[in-house]
Amino acid sequence: MPVLYWNPVTYPLSLLEGEAAGAITTMERETHTSRKRGKEDIIFKAAVRTIKDKGFHRARMSDIAKEAGISYGLVYHYFRNKEDLFDSILNRWWDSLFLLLHDLEKRQTKVQDKLSRIIEYFLETYQKDPELVNVFITEVSRSTANLTRHRLEHFKKWMSMTEAIIKEGQESGVLRVDFKARYLTYIFLGALETFVSAMVLAGQEIKDDAQKQRISDSILEVFMNGARPGNSKNP
């Protein structure tokens, strides 16, 4: 049986040291990235709480730093300004929503199930992170002052992807065709946004999964019954 040994010619010590150094560098980078994400998350949560309590325009970076328990200057190390931080908050909301919508595009499931998942996304997010949904509703969805062109594009994309599901329902005979798909989209998203907004503005949180399911079923049932073929006044 051959004896295995280290050959300094074919595998010099410097190469071994280089690999070890590379491994340490990789670990250091991973540790640095983890710490950065952890600090960003602390600032993010503090910003959500501060904006929820004071409103976007009254909230200051110094308020957010104080809430996060870090120095004022450190906030600017992670975010250029308040607008940048605010967009980071909104992007967490949009990124998760668009991830869901892209997944629904690829699924061969019933239209009812796809619409149900959109409703559940709103309700699940509100149940787990009510402060984030509060900021989205009060500072963006129902505030034209903060609705920049860039942020408006996210709304348009959301409506467009939802409308594609509505059209799918019309083509499969699940939804009525005497109304434009765009109108049904406005009705569906309007009902969902209004329901969640009412809970946010009233300070009502979702108590448990059973309540969440009842709300989801109610919104979907009312929409589907009104949008179901055969309900047309002019058949």
70-90 pLDDT per residue, tens:
998 999 999 999 999 999 999
Alpha helices of the chain — where are they, by DSSP H?
13-54, 61-68, 72-78, 82-106, 111-128, 130-136, 149-171, 181-202, 209-227
Structural contact between residues 223 and 119, judged by C-beta atoms closer than 8 angstroms = no
pLDDT, position 143: 83
CATH 1.10.10.10 fits 17-79, yes or no: no
**pLDDT above 70: percentage of residues in the chain:** 82
pLDDT beyond 70 at 181: yes
The tens digit of pLDDT for each residue in 116-163 reads: 999 999 999 999 999 999 999 999 888 888 888 888 999 999 999 999
Domain with CATH 1.10.357.10 in the chain: 89-227
The tens digit of pLDDT for each residue in 104-120 reads: 999 999 999 999 999 99
155's CB contacts (< 8 A; 6+ apart) are: 147
CATH topology of domain 89-227: Tetracycline Repressor; domain 2 (1.10.357)
pLDDT beyond 90 at 200: yes
Quote the mean pLDDT of the chain.
Answer: 87
Amino acid present at 228: R
Residue 4's alpha-carbon distances to 1, 7, in angstroms, are 9, 9
Structure tokens at 215: 């709300």
* Nearest alpha-carbon partner for 86 in 130, 127, 125, 55: 55
Number of residues that make up the chain: 235
- Hey, which of 15-19, 30-34, 209-213 has the most confident mean pLDDT? 209-213
Confidence of residue 5 (pLDDT cuts 50, 70, 90): very low
pTM, to two decimals: 0.79
pLDDT beyond 70 at 61: yes
Residue 92's alpha-carbon distances to 3, 75, 97, 229, in angstroms, are 57, 18, 9, 37
pLDDT, position 6: 44
pLDDT beyond 70 at 11: no
Domain with CATH 1.10.10.60 in the chain: 17-79
Amino acid present at 190: G
